[in-house]
Amino acid sequence: MRRNSKASENATDPCGRQQAGQIDAWILDHAAPGGIVVVMQSQRSLREYFLDEIVSLNLGRCRLVLSRHGRFDLAGRGMDAPRHALTLHMPTADLLAAAASGQTWFGGRPVFKRQLTLQETHLAGLVAGAKPA
């Protein structure tokens, strides 16, 4: 029997709602230097979301560069980390909230909060009043 099921539903991991085709379409339509994105770092069942800023976008080479997490292809796959460790996501309201809160997830459930970096604190302030994608 699940206790407090409404709270459990609200506390589920926001990942898994974006496909590679959606991500590359979003990048082509909306990504630009200075734009804010969400990066998911995963290791087995542990997931963390980070705010990061686009430094450059090179459509000829099919990649973009973020200030903290490095290079990504247009499908959102990290190119400077072990395979599947970093994934770029469209900055939707639920993912922005997850990244700005510092919440860490294990097995789809919240487990602890990490401290935001100074850059993330700054970016969280910028997106607090902005309309997400």
What is the DSSP code string of 43-105? ETTEEEEEEEEEEEEETTTTEEEETTTEEEETTSBBSSSSTTTEEEE---HHHHHHHHHTEEE
Over pLDDT 90: what percentage of the chain?
53
pLDDT digits (tens, 9 = 90+) for 77-119: 999 877 778 999 988 888 898 899 998 999 888 899 999 999 9
Q: What is the model's pLDDT at position 3?
A: 38
pLDDT digits (tens, 9 = 90+) for 49-81: 999 999 999 999 999 999 999 999 999 999 987
Backbone angles phi, psi at 125, to 5 degrees: -65, -35
pLDDT digits (tens, 9 = 90+) for 9-21: 346 777 666 777 8
What pTM was estimated for this model as a whole?
Answer: 0.82
Residue 63's DSSP bridge partners are 58, 73
Residue 6 has pLDDT above 50, yes or no: no
Residue 92, token pair as written in the block? 């939707």
